[in-house]
């Protein structure tokens, strides 16, 4: 029995287990980023906070990938680290998408129209854009209430961040695996 307990304790976690455990805090982080971007027009310092949070994403993903690399004594393959990063983004975006949907549905149901009206106002002040077709179409979309639905926006956000996360994960996995100081000192 003791040998079995020791064997269980020595088992390494898979990338899927790590991604599922770290996906919740990462999802909460992405949820906070989504909320700051939704309310950034009410309180302008949230814009700066949102950009800082977005710029910190590669470092956070690198931290988790490096942590897994060290946990595996430096023997985690590049593809596994990349897959773990992709899974982190997908699991995180599932959580952030639910949060963003409920915030947009119940706290800011007019978010898209407010943003479109702000864009119309800004573009109307640019002489080259006053008579542009884009501005006419945007005005027509707002007037006729043809803006995308909240769920469409949330799905678009999910796929955009998931794809971007895949690219970020590819780069950070390469960096996490290339820094082999730990691996050389361990052997």
Domain hosting 31: range is 12-108+149-186
Q: Is residue 118, in this structure, part of any structural domain at all?
A: no
**Which tens digit of pLDDT belongs to each residue from 11-43?**
789 999 999 999 999 999 999 999 999 999 999
User: How many angstroms separate the CA atoms of 135 and 123, rounded?
Assistant: 7
Model pLDDT, residue 90: 97
**Which tens digit of pLDDT belongs to each residue from 93-136?**
999 999 999 999 999 999 999 999 998 999 889 888 888 898 89
CB 68 within 8 A of CB 18: yes
Q: Is residue 92, in this structure, part of any structural domain at all?
A: yes
pLDDT band at 51 (very low <50, low <70, confident <90, very high): very high
CB 84 within 8 A of CB 14: no
Q: Is residue 173, in this structure, part of any structural domain at all?
A: yes
Q: Is residue 121, in this structure, part of any structural domain at all?
A: no
Contacts of 124 (CB under 8 A, 6+ apart): 130, 135
Q: Is residue 21, in this structure, part of any structural domain at all?
A: yes
Domain count, the chain: 1
Give CA angle at 163 (41, 38), nearest 5°. 15
Model pLDDT, residue 9: 53
The pair phi, psi for residue 82, each rounded to 5°, is -65, -45
**Which tens digit of pLDDT belongs to each residue from 76-99?**
999 999 999 999 999 999 999 999
């Amino acid at each position: 029995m003791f040998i079995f307990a020791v064997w269980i304790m020595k088992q390494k976690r898979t990338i899927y287990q790590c991604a599922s455990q770290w996906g919740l805090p990462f999802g909460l982080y992405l949820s906070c980023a989504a909320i700051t971007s939704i309310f950034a027009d009410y309180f302008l310092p949230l814009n700066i906070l949102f950009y800082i949070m977005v710029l910190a994403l590669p470092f956070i993903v690198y931290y988790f990938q490096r942590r897994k690399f060290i946990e595996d004594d430096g023997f985690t393959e590049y593809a596994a680290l990349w897959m773990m990063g992709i899974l982190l983004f997908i699991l995180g975006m599932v959580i952030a998408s639910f949060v963003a949907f409920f915030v947009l549905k119940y706290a800011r149901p007019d978010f898209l129209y407010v943003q479109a009206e702000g864009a119309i106002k800004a573009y109307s002040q640019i002489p080259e854009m006053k008579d542009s077709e884009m501005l006419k179409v945007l005005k027509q979309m707002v007037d006729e209430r043809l803006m995308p639905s909240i769920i469409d926006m949330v799905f678009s956000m999910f796929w955009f961040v998931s794809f971007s996360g895949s690219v970020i994960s590819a780069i950070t996995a390469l960096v996490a695996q290339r820094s082999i100081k730990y691996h050389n000192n361990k052997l």
